[in-house]
Amino acid sequence: MSSFRDEIAEQPAVAERLLRQMESVQAIGAAIKAANPAGIVIAARGSSDNAAVYAKYVFQLRNRLPVALAAPSLFTHYAAPPRIARYCVLGISQSGAAPDVCAVVEEGRRQGAVTVALTNERDSPLAAAADFVISLQAGLERSVPASKTYTASLVAIAMLSQVIDPNEDFVGALLRIPDAMRGVERHEAELREMAPLIQGSRVIVLGRGFNLATSEELALKLTETSYVLARAWSAADFLHGPVAVIDPDFPIILVEARGPTYAETRNVFSLLAKRGPRIFQVGDGTVHLPGAAASVLLSSGLPESLTPLTLAVAGQLLALHLAISRGLDPDRPRTLTKVTRTR
């Protein structure tokens, strides 16, 4: 079995270790509350950028804090950073070695913003640049595609949201994450069977709300491991132009959970079905989509805001088995390295 598969299996234990840090994260929440920021600016790249998309929904819905994703080049190449003193600045980098992410956090600290680093490397440049560090507790990740460091980032984001605005129901749901992630493995055979049905070199992944981030991450995993030109869109945005690419048998993967956007997303797929694409459904707490070529339906019992944890694991397993079905090595995608340093 591959390192990627082994690390997928480690994720529940990683989540448990991280959740045991809840008490130590309280001080970060208190500092953010005391600063009363106008919003949160997040710097990230790659899978961490997809975690930042998740953070947009969590912080804006639960904490009512506006969230902006930084343009790191403004801090490096253009040397024209915006005024971010009244914001909390959050840097997300699994390795903590991304120079442009570090530059955003360093500038935020220079301007007097509260700065927080989410990283798997406590001795990294990013950790040194920030006022506060949340260590992802994921251990060494050998495979090039991120798995446990990605979901650990999501858990850390949800924990940070909780300590900013505590809620008994939400913390109870957080503590159920490890068991919910373990439950995904019961569906691995279904995901293995789905994988070879996804044919061709192009795939579209659609999601909405909290699972827009999951769609982005699944598209990245398919691109990394199987060299599929995969593109994620919001199910709402997809109708505003991109739908024109759809023709009969075009593969579309729907990532969904029940929430306020569920009914509207189902309406979008009713429209898409008339064009004859091959639709693959990966859902948590949802029912079979009529006309789907294959469906994998989880039942974690988590609120929509935490289903990106279970659905990310399902997406990783799907990407793993798609690569294997095509005779590819998911651990070592061509031309990629574990750490990418951009400025």
pLDDT digits (tens, 9 = 90+) for 39-56: 999 999 999 999 999 999
Do 10 and 157 fall within a single domain?
A: yes
Question: Does 32 map to a domain?
Answer: yes
Mode of pairing for the β-strands spanning 278-284 and 294-298: parallel
In the block, residue with structure tokens 């009914």: 263
Question: Does 334 map to a domain?
Answer: no
Do 41 and 150 fall within a single domain?
A: yes
Rounded distance between C-alpha atoms, residue 106 and residue 202, angstroms:
39
**Is 229 within 8 Å of 289 (Cβ atoms)?**
no
Q: Which residues contact 147 (CB under 8 A, 6 or more apart)?
A: 4, 7, 8, 11, 141, 316
Q: Using 50, 70 and 90 to split pLDDT, how confident is the model at 7?
A: very high
Give percent above pLDDT 90 in the chain.
82
CATH code of 242's domain = 3.40.50.10490
Nearest by Cα to 31 from 88, 78, 81: 88
pLDDT digits (tens, 9 = 90+) for 215-224: 999 999 999 9
Give residue 182's Cα distance to chain centre.
Answer: 18
Domain around 155? 3-175
Mean pLDDT across the chain, nearest whole number? 93
Tell me which of 3-17, 42-56, 139-153, 238-252 is least confident: 238-252
SS3 208: coil
Taking 90 as the threshold, does the pLDDT of residue 246 lie above it?
A: no
Sheet holding 132-135, edge to edge: 67-69, 40-44, 88-92, 114-119, 132-135
Do 207 and 262 fall within a single domain?
A: yes
- Side chain identity at residue 127, one-letter code: A
Do 168 and 245 fall within a single domain?
A: no
Do 185 and 311 fall within a single domain?
A: yes
Question: Does 299 map to a domain?
Answer: yes
Rounded distance between C-alpha atoms, residue 247 and residue 24, angstroms:
52
Tell me which of 140-144, 170-174, 225-229 is least confident: 140-144
Q: Which residues contact 105 (CB under 8 A, 6 or more apart)?
A: 43, 89, 91, 115, 117, 126, 129, 130
Question: Does 256 map to a domain?
Answer: yes
pLDDT digits (tens, 9 = 90+) for 157-214: 999 999 999 999 999 999 999 999 999 999 999 999 999 999 999 999 999 999 999 9
